[in-house]
Amino acid sequence: MPQSNSKIGIQKIRLSSVDSTNNFAAKLINDGLAEHGSVILAENQTNGRGQRSLKWQSEKGKNILSSFIFEFHELDPQFLFRINAFVSIAILDFLSSHDIEAQIKWPNDILVDSKKICGILVENKLVGNILHYSVAGFGLNVNQAEFSELKDATSMILVKKKEFDLETIWLSLISYFQKWEGFITSEHHSENLHRMYQNNLFGVDEKRQFMIGLKRVEGVIKGVNKHGFLMLQIGEEIHYFKNKEVEFL
């Protein structure tokens, strides 16, 4: 485990309500007020976003709605996927500490018993080819027990049959982000990070239905490469897909 003097969580920003924590973080960056490791928490989001611009539904004061700001000066194109992998593994590790076994559904969901407990949205600010900032936002279902507008959703309270203190959960999550931060920048540890991501990937070697454009196909997930492309076997061939190019059915 790499050791680092992490700055994650040195600046904590608590908001009662915001359109989205990622938007708030982006404004801090654009206004020159962002600090590496700043963490934002909101009780409520009025326009929370997920992958494919879908809205994130959350009951006010029941869940963790948070964004982490990271400052980089990085050229390696593989680096972008490392950030997603780092966030996913940190959250999996946190859930494991509560005896909740979870998996990563490519590209950015965390599942428990095939139900979504967490959604992740990483947004990057590049200047030319150089990554300057990443905002890692996520919504973790904690104390919400009913999901009228979402199918196949779950939460910590549904899994463990008890309520959790949100402040304690948030601070614990920050500590897990601190624990795994060194895996982003270390080339050696990034290999381990990729391996752990692969080992916790949902649906590997299982036949599933996917939509590719307007076409429905049957395929088998074989993994995710170091650039974050889904490796999908269709027939006898392996095809590589970026985020938004393929959809689970």
pTM of whole model > 0.75? yes
Where is pLDDT greater, at 66 or 59? 66
Q: Do 188 and 77 lie in a common domain?
A: yes
Q: Where does the pLDDT of residue 52 fall: very low under 50, low under 70, confident under 90, or very high at 90 and above?
A: very low
Q: Identify whether 152 is part of a domain.
A: yes
Residue 3: is its pLDDT beyond 70?
Answer: no
CA distance 138 to 125: 17
The reply to whether 47 and 121 lie within a common domain is yes
- Reading the block at residue 217, the tokens are 């196909």
Report if residue 6 sits inside a domain: no
pLDDT tens profile 63-106: 999 999 999 887 776 788 999 999 999 999 999 999 999 999 99
Residue 129 sits in which domain range? 12-199
Q: For residues 51-62, give the mean pLDDT.
A: 69
Counting the structural domains of the chain, the total is 2
Residue 1 lies in a domain: no
- Which pairing describes strands 12-15 and 39-42: parallel, antiparallel, or unpaired? parallel
pLDDT in tens, 119-144: 999 999 988 888 999 999 999 999 99
What burial letters (b/e) apply to 160-196, b meaning 16+ CB within 10 Å? eeeebebeebbeebbebbbbbbbbbbeeebbeebbeb
Residue 55: pLDDT band (50, 70, 90) is low
Q: What's the confidence (pLDDT) of residue 76?
A: 77
| Same domain assignment for residues 114 and 220 | no
Task: Give the residue-averaged pLDDT of 196-209.
Answer: 96
**Terminal Cα distance for the chain, rounded:** 37
Between 176 and 185, whose confidence is greater?
Answer: 176
Tell me: do 146 and 236 sit in the same domain.
no
Residues 156 and 236 in one domain: no
Residue 112 sits in the same domain as residue 229: no
188 with 214, same domain: the answer is: no
Q: Are 84 and 122 in contact (CB under 8 A)?
A: yes
pLDDT for 47 = 76
Residues 131, 222, single domain; the answer is no
Of 189, 188, 190, 201, residue with least CA distance to 229: 201
**pLDDT exceeding 90 applies to what percent of the chain?**
78
Q: What is the pLDDT of residues 132-178, one digit of tens each?
A: 999 999 999 999 999 887 789 999 999 999 999 999 999 999 999 99
Is 3 a member of any domain? no
Distance CA 126, CA 131 (A): 4
Let me know: does 176 contact 94? Beta carbons within 8 Å: yes
How many helices (H) and strands (E) would you count in the chain? 6, 12
The predicted structure's pLDDT at residue 73: 83
Query: Is the CA virtual torsion 34, 126, 134, 46 positive or negative?
Result: positive
Percent over 70 (pLDDT), the chain: 94
